[in-house]
Amino acid sequence: MTEQELISLGFEKQIEEGTTNQSYYYALDMLEGLFCFTEANDEIKNDEWIVELSFDCNPRIKFKDVKSFTELLNILNQSKILNQNEYEEHCTRCYNRELPG
């Protein structure tokens, strides 16, 4: 992936504190415990950024191809919206139910 593709996907530049050469990487928070990040810019060769998807688990999942990563983002975003709607409907049903007693 290129740096511009990362920016287009919503990644935000994170400047690493305490580095002398203005080292930075990109990050994208998806959900709690689910985030994406890249290697630092000084590790990138030929503008080929690799995104690492972290489920706060091991092993980590890595992407180099923007098409497959974009497809995953679309799937996750669609699921996030669906799950939020399902959650709100569930809460509404529970709230409208009469409590026993």
Does residue 101 belong to any structural domain of this protein? no
The 3-state secondary structure of 30-64 reads EECCEEEEECCHHHCCCCCCCEEEECCCCCCEEEC
Q: Report the alpha-carbon distance of residue 63 to residue 50 in Å, rounded.
A: 6
Strands lying side by side in the sheet with 24-31: 12-15, 24-31, 34-38, 51-54, 61-63
Does residue 8 belong to any structural domain of this protein? yes
pLDDT, tens digit, for every residue of 71-87?
A: 988 888 876 665 666 66
pTM (predicted TM-score): 0.62
Higher-pLDDT residue of 60 and 8 is: 8
User: Is the model's pLDDT at 39 over the cut of 60?
Assistant: yes
**What range does the domain containing 29 cover?**
3-96
Does residue 18 belong to any structural domain of this protein? yes
Total domains in the fold of the chain:
1
Q: What is the pLDDT of residue 33?
A: 76
Element (H or E) spanning 13, and its range? strand 12-15
Neighbouring CB atoms inside 10 A of 51's CB total 25
User: Is the model's pLDDT at 95 over the cut of 70?
Assistant: no
Confidence label for 100 from pLDDT (cuts 50, 70 and 90): very low
For residues 54-78, give the mean pLDDT. 82
Does residue 27 belong to any structural domain of this protein? yes
